[in-house]
Chain A
Amino acid sequence: MCLAIPGRVEEITSDGPIRMGRVNFGGVVKKVCLDYVPEIAVGDYAIVHVGFAISKVDEATAEETLATFRAMGVLDEELATEEEAFARAADRPQSNCPDGSCALPDSATSTEPQLLGKKYRQ
């Protein structure tokens, strides 16, 4: 949650005392506070963290970073709606006891890679 995602400023509005805008992150549009980047204009790119633009950035860097984060799979997480965030959490059951002793290895899941290390970690 420390990543700032680059996006293009599509609109600048005033929301009472603070400067707000709509920023497009490769197709997902969010309402973003622009108070920390007073020099920003419509058409500029900014890096945005938890709904706040923290720095202006050139278009080439923005596209490059966006591609990197998309490949890392963190875009979906950063820009998730509330429903998506809860759906993701629902998919990750937790052990019920604090020491984890009731958590069994998840060998039932097909995504579990082979444990290479078994014979080396006796």
Chain B
Amino acid sequence: MKYLDEFRNGEIAQRVAREIHAITTRPWKIMEVCGGQTHSIIKNGIDQMLPVGVEMVHGPGCPVCVTPLELIDKALAIAAQPGVIFCSFGDMLRVPGTDSDLFQVKGRGGDVRVVYSPLDAVELAVKNPDRQVVFFGVGFETTAPANAMSVHLAKRRGLKNFSLLVSHVLVPPAIDAIMSSPGNQVQAFLAAGHVCSVMGYWEYPPLADQFNIPIIVTGFEPLDLLDGIRRAVIQLERGEHHVENAYERIVSYAGNLEAQRLLSEVFETTDRAWRGIGVIPRSGWKLNAAYRDFDAEERFHISGIRTVESPLCHAGDVLRGAIKPGECPAFGKECTPRRPLGATMVSSEGACAAYFNYGRFLSFEQLAGAGR
């Protein structure tokens, strides 16, 4: 609550919150899939403005967090090879592999570079013809068009020294997996606005029908999130389940067709392992046969990787929405943003980091029980 006062729209937010209170007759669990939305909800205290029992469950929408440990270890192995320039976004530097991270690989002499755009990595390949340039392309549907364009350009330019270590994951199959998992308690979803700006929301109505869940496309501003929650609660209270677009300023039903065209030219659907969750069928994209030559996993045969997950880290349970970050025994003790055990504590989009940075050390139930 203390942050919302800083917003010009604090009064409107309070009004929307009051409306949510007025229409709520029973407890509901609503999942926001996107890590950026998790960050905004916690930072702005939006979950604390809701009626008791209306709970925000934090989903697996942090690309850094769900990248499998094995892929991180592959990245570290490739980055350590002589003759390689390994390019990544800045948020991957401190994601712990089994026994190192990209930052430490650089400290030991690996040529690790942080780029703003995958096109910067293509430029590096052009300027360094005697080096192998690898770009670490992880992310959801939002990031995929950028990676698709980089590899498309590399092919057009006939570059033999550029490849992608790529692992894209997709939101709709994740919703399917969460709803199908035993013990699932999620009753409605906020869909990620920026993912939908690329993909549209035509993939969501079948999910809403199959699982009887309201799905609301929404943005990141406090008002957008509150409005999304309000619309979800209205549908839940009425027993309805359809897809609504609460982010029409940016999202259309069809999405960005230019981007989707290049995505279908470059990628094909594949099963993907999600860190902490396991393999979700047909939940990701990989380079298709026409672009296989640009796949870093094909170019660098990395073998003998043995991953060891920290036994103290419960990131998987957090990503599934099964526990809140504060319920992990390591939270705030062995595991802090300065010394993260798992990716959910590294990334600013990770639920654990959001809880730690904004002083959320207890679950809502514990707070309620503590006579707040």
State the interface size on chain A (CB cutoff 8 A).
65
- Residues in A whose Cβ lies below 8 Å from that of B156: 17
CA distance A71 to B9 in the complex (A): 14
Q: Does B55 contact A (CB under 8 A)?
A: no
Interface centre among B40, B99, B222, B249, by most A CB within 10 Å?
Answer: B249
Question: CB-nearest residue of chain B relative to A1?
Answer: B91
CA distance A17 to B262 in the complex (A): 14
B338 with A2: CB separation less than 8 A: no
CA distance A55 to B200 in the complex (A): 11
Q: Does A80 contact B (CB under 8 A)?
A: yes
Question: Would you give the shortest CB distance from A112 to chain B, in whole angstroms?
Answer: 7
- Residues in A whose Cβ lies below 8 Å from that of B259: 36, 54
Interchain CB contact (< 8 A) of B119 among A33, A65, A68, A88 = A33
Interface 0/1 of B297-312, CB less than 8 Å to A: 0000000000010111
Q: Does A9 contact B (CB under 8 A)?
A: no
- Residues in B whose Cβ lies below 8 Å from that of A30: 116
Question: Would you give the shortest CB distance from B284 to chain A, in whole angstroms?
Answer: 15
B310 with A94: CB separation less than 8 A: no
Q: A4-B142, A49-B142, A55-B250 are in contact. Are A117 and B361 (CB under 8 A)?
A: yes
Q: A36-B258, A77-B91 are in contact. Are A68 and B349 (CB under 8 A)?
A: no
CA distance A3 to B146 in the complex (A): 13
Question: Would you give the shortest CB distance from B16 to chain A, in whole angstroms?
Answer: 15
Interface 0/1 of A72-89, CB less than 8 Å to B: 111001011010111011
CA distance A82 to B104 in the complex (A): 16
Question: Would you give the shortest CB distance from A6 to chain B, in whole angstroms?
Answer: 9
A-B contact number at CB 8 A: 206
Interface 0/1 of A81-114, CB less than 8 Å to B: 0101110111111111111110111100100110
- Residues in A whose Cβ lies below 8 Å from that of B34: 2
A65 with B308: CB separation less than 8 A: no
CA distance A90 to B64 in the complex (A): 18
CB neighbors of A among B80-99 (8 A): 89-91, 93-94, 96, 98-99
Q: A1-B349, A3-B194 are in contact. Are A95 and B36 (CB under 8 A)?
A: no
A38 with B258: CB separation less than 8 A: yes
Contacts A36-B145, A85-B93, A85-B114 given; 12 further ones with Cβ under 8 A?
A2-B192, A4-B194, A38-B258, A52-B146, A55-B197, A71-B43, A90-B103, A98-B96, A98-B99, A101-B334, A116-B362, A117-B361
Give residues in B with beta carbon < 8 Å to A: 3, 6-7, 34-36, 39-40, 43, 61-64, 89-91, 93-94, 96, 98-99, 101, 103-104, 106, 113-120, 139-140, 142-143, 145-146, 149, 153, 156, 192, 194-195, 197-198, 219-222, 249-251, 256, 258-259, 308, 310-313, 326, 329-330, 332-341, 346-349, 359, 361-362, 366, 369-370
